[in-house]
Structure 1
Amino acid sequence: MEIHQLLRLIGRIGAGVDETSTGRAAADAARHALVARGAQAVGPLLRVLTDEDPPVDWTEAAALLRRIGEPALRPLAAVIAAAPTPTAAVRAGWTFSGLELHSPTAYAPALAHPHPRVREAAAHALQQRGPAALPAARLLLPLLADPVAEVRAGAGWALADAGPGVLPLLREVRRARAPAGVRRTALELLAAVGGPAALDARDAAAVRRLIRARAPGEVPEPMHLCGPWFALPTGDLPAVLDAFGLSGAERVTMRLGASAWRHDQHSGAAHGACARMYVSPVLDGWTLVFGTATGEAHRPAGEPPGGAVLRRCTALSRRFGTAHWYGARCADDWSAWCFAERGEVVRFYDATYPEQTAGARHPAEPADALPHEAAFADGAFADVDALVAEAFLASYEAVTRDLGIAGPRTAALVAGRASVNPLALGPATRAEGAAVLALTACGRTFGHPPGALRV
């Protein structure tokens, strides 16, 4: 049967023309036949993939090209390099990243392709494979010196996601006569993938020198918010570390500290979310402490969720006069905050547990509804087209943010009115002192969580 006839059989199912068991069986047989044609089927499938109005759903063509594997690699690279439309480029890149290959080293020609989009796509494809990409790790090393920043970054991410198995290769690069930029990147990756234990004394000293070189004059950047943080009106770093029971403080860049907090909130490692805390420099008069201390992470059985936070804020306010706690999550609309003054909690709110709300409304809070009151009812968009609903919600969030109405990440808006909004950090933010990363009681027992961090 001709290739166009096989595609037509698959298209009948996609269009709902023949959804009988016989029709579905015929479509499956057509898919197997197209994969069996291998290189012969690649051209027709690529035409479907890049067609703005294809006769067969483009995802069918993408899945078949992925199954065909290596014969589709070079043709897809050509499409990525000279895609007729942005849509075609995206589709080709998605297909390219999931090709079924005998070995990840089959991406070698793409990693050395003259077009940077292809090199970047190949690095991304290896990153998608995680530790399975380790056999191709050495092929990524030249890309660490690529003239295009996106390609260099992609190679670094792929090496980091290859996991601990890449550490011997990175140590080899550190001792080789590689360009200075490549050796520096290898050092950052060693620290990120293996943690402090992966560094010998010479490299550990080099990381500290790198941080000392980058930290002075570092411009604050907006942070990705996902998790809890405290705000204290003090510049007494030793007192802050003592108040949270932190030790082993290491000076870091603000970028590294923010990266650690973000990483830890999504860590799947045991005690990954409560092993360390990032203490910021003094930002517009406030020291921010990001993370979960051991006391909040492991509260006594039966204690209300807010109990540990209330105790912590009470103790902090006795010591520093004022203590704020905030919480926000990137996966949903959760927001929470607590304000304590001179040893007394004056306001506590958690959108997940509104029944625990305590104290009078704070002047920094939204004037109308709190987050749990402002949410849309379940099923509010059940009869609305998905794209329309998505566009509306995006516009709604923008308006609530601009007008200060309760909604997603309300805690950040409250923080901006009462202390410092981490989302609004930037060149205008006054930064004094040093940023540090320090271990909690859990961290002293279990060590730093593994994973890549940005320096």
Structure 2
Amino acid sequence: MARQAQDALILILQGSHVVPLLQRVRELGLGRQRARALTVLAELGGEPALSRADVAAIERLIRVKLPDDRPEGMWGCWNHWIAVPGDDQSGIMRTLGVVDPRPVTFALGNDIVDADGHRADDTFTGYERVFVTPELDGWTLVLGAWCDPCGAERREEVLRLCIDLSERYGQARAYYYGGQGDGSAWLVAEHGAVLRRYCETGEEGDELLALGEPLPYERARRAELGLQPDWDAAHESPEDEDQWRWAAHDMAADFARSYGVSPLHISAETPSRGTGVVALTPYGVTRGVPAGAYRI
């Protein structure tokens, strides 16, 4: 009941006029009132609405949790990520041009990415932040809609960034996986060149985005389906084309796991070294970030 009242309050009290009242509750209210007020303040106004003491307390809680933090799989409705071999988190962020990293738990990083993926309005696009993981079984992942390899807004920039990353680290890969049956895409760059880009999202023009030749994983999956490993869609039967498209539509997460690490398949048992951070993209630097209350 208390959570329902809290959610109703957030929906109803959309306005800065209630922030001073909630701040007063934080300062003088009883324990439960203060806790609820903190959540509503974060949801309505974000960090600017919180006192320095509250911000410090949240940062302290994150620091307390980090030593025991373990990897958690990402499972959003729309999942976008870049994968880079190695553990050079700071160098990867410099190459990408993301700034102001702040330590986060996996729960917090994933929650921010999922919330941002559902957000697109007149002020924010969902491209403002990324979650940069610690090293996971030999790979560093950058998660967030900003990493989209196939959407019209981001695909050419992500292509360039993967080329830049692959020049420095030998390879870089970008993926999209729609967790609600919304398709898949993958982009593979090595040593400064794009080896492959393939999109199967159901959007018109997907076929025009394909670059390079099918990779071994694609050929192997086609062979498993009884299809020709190498193909030309223009000369393929409609039945074979539909079979492949349906299979590829759901392939990105398994494709990523076959070539390294998939964020949808990591768990507490995944080898991990370092601390994850949430950082601002150029969109976030320009526009700021949306308000929100997230799991820690």
The answer to whether the superposition gives a TM-score over 0.5 is: yes
Q: Which amino acid aligns with 2:53?
A: R
Q: Which amino acid aligns with 1:281?
A: P
Alpha-carbon separation, structure 2, partners of 1:255 and 1:182: 24
Q: Give the Å deviation of 1:235.
A: 1.1
Count of residues in Structure 1 that have an aligned counterpart in Structure 2: 274
Q: Give the Å deviation of 1:229.
A: 0.8
Give the secondary structure class of the aligned counterpart of 2:252. Answer: helix
Matched, 1:200 2:54: no
Q: Give the Å deviation of 1:342.
A: 0.9
Alpha-carbon separation, structure 1, partners of 2:112 and 2:10: 20
What residue in structure 2 maps to residue 143 of structure 1? Answer: none
Matched, 1:440 2:281: yes
Q: Deviations over 1:107-157 (max 9, x none)?
A: xxxxxxxxxxxx37xx5477368523x5xxxxxxxxxxxxxxxxxxxxxxx
Q: Give the Å deviation of 1:189.
A: 4.7
User: Structure 1's 343 and 417: CA in aligned 2 closer, same or farther, altered over 3 A?
Assistant: same
Q: Give the Å deviation of 1:350.
A: 0.8
Give the secondary structure class of the aligned counterpart of 1:210. Answer: helix
What residue in structure 1 maps to residue 193 of structure 2? Answer: 344
- Please, which of 133, 136, 140 is the counterpart of residue 287 of structure 1? 140
Q: Which amino acid aligns with 1:286?
A: W
Q: What are the residue-to-residue correspondences of 1:267-306 with 2, within 5 Å?
A: 267-269=119-121, 270-293=123-146, 306=155
Alpha-carbon separation, structure 1, partners of 2:89 and 2:35: 30
Alpha-carbon separation, structure 1, partners of 2:248 and 2:5: 37
What residue in structure 1 maps to residue 243 of structure 2? Answer: 374
- Please, which of 155, 160, 164 is the counterpart of residue 315 of structure 1? 164
Matched, 1:232 2:84: yes
User: Structure 1's 415 and 296: CA in aligned 2 closer, same or farther, altered over 3 A?
Assistant: closer
Higher helix share: 1
Give the secondary structure class of the aligned counterpart of 1:453. Answer: coil
Q: Deviations over 1:18-56 (max 9, x none)?
A: xxxxxxxxxxxxxxxxxxxxxxxxxxxxxxxxxxxxxxx
Q: What are the residue-to-residue correspondences of 1:56-205 with 2, within 5 Å?
A: 119=1, 123-124=3-4, 127=7, 131-132=11-12, 134=13, 167-176=19-28, 178-179=30-31, 183=34, 186-205=37-56
Q: Give the Å deviation of 1:288.
A: 0.6
Q: Which amino acid aligns with 1:438?
A: A
CA contact 1:244–1:293 (8 Å) conserved in 2: no
CA contact 1:272–1:449 (8 Å) conserved in 2: no
Q: Give the Å deviation of 1:316.
A: 0.9
User: Structure 1's 165 and 424: CA in aligned 2 closer, same or farther, altered over 3 A?
Assistant: farther
Unaligned regions of 5+ residues in structure 1, if any?
1-118, 135-161, 377-404
CA contact 1:230–1:325 (8 Å) conserved in 2: yes
What residue in structure 1 maps to residue 74 of structure 2? Answer: 223
Q: Which amino acid aligns with 2:95?
A: A
User: Structure 1's 221 and 248: CA in aligned 2 closer, same or farther, altered over 3 A?
Assistant: same
Q: Deviations over 1:202-234 (max 9, x none)?
A: 211111101111122212222123132100112
Give the secondary structure class of the aligned counterpart of 1:336. Answer: strand
CA contact 1:276–1:448 (8 Å) conserved in 2: yes
Give the secondary structure class of the aligned counterpart of 2:134. Answer: strand
User: Structure 1's 296 and 410: CA in aligned 2 closer, same or farther, altered over 3 A?
Assistant: closer
Question: RMSD across aligned C-alpha pairs, in angstroms?
Answer: 3.3
Q: Deviations over 1:302-329 (max 9, x none)?
A: xxx7433322211110011110100022
Q: Which amino acid aligns with 1:273?
A: G
Q: Give the Å deviation of 1:343.
A: 0.8
Q: Which amino acid aligns with 2:285?
A: R
Q: What TM-score results when the alignment is normalised by the length of structure 2?
A: 0.79
Give the secondary structure class of the aligned counterpart of 2:187. Answer: strand
CA contact 1:294–1:441 (8 Å) conserved in 2: no
Give the secondary structure class of the aligned counterpart of 2:141. Answer: strand
User: Structure 1's 358 and 273: CA in aligned 2 closer, same or farther, altered over 3 A?
Assistant: same
Q: Deviations over 1:275-321 (max 9, x none)?
A: 11111111111111012449989979xxxx74333222111100111
Give the secondary structure class of the aligned counterpart of 1:332. Answer: coil
User: Structure 1's 431 and 189: CA in aligned 2 closer, same or farther, altered over 3 A?
Assistant: farther
Matched, 1:258 2:110: yes
Q: What TM-score results when the alignment is normalised by the length of structure 1?
A: 0.53
Q: Give the Å deviation of 1:436.
A: 0.8
Alpha-carbon separation, structure 1, partners of 2:17 and 2:293: 14
- Please, which of 248, 251, 257 is the counterpart of residue 410 of structure 1? 251
Q: Deviations over 1:170-195 (max 9, x none)?
A: 4334323634x764565455334422
Q: Deviations over 1:359-382 (max 9, x none)?
A: 232233461269974378xxxxxx
What residue in structure 2 maps to residue 71 of structure 1? Answer: none
Q: Give the Å deviation of 1:336.
A: 0.2
CA contact 1:337–1:350 (8 Å) conserved in 2: yes
Alpha-carbon separation, structure 2, partners of 1:312 and 1:329: 22
Higher relative contact order (CA 8 A, sep 6+): 2
Unaligned regions of 5+ residues in structure 2, if any?
228-239
Q: Which amino acid aligns with 1:312?
A: L
Alpha-carbon separation, structure 1, partners of 2:6 and 2:46: 22
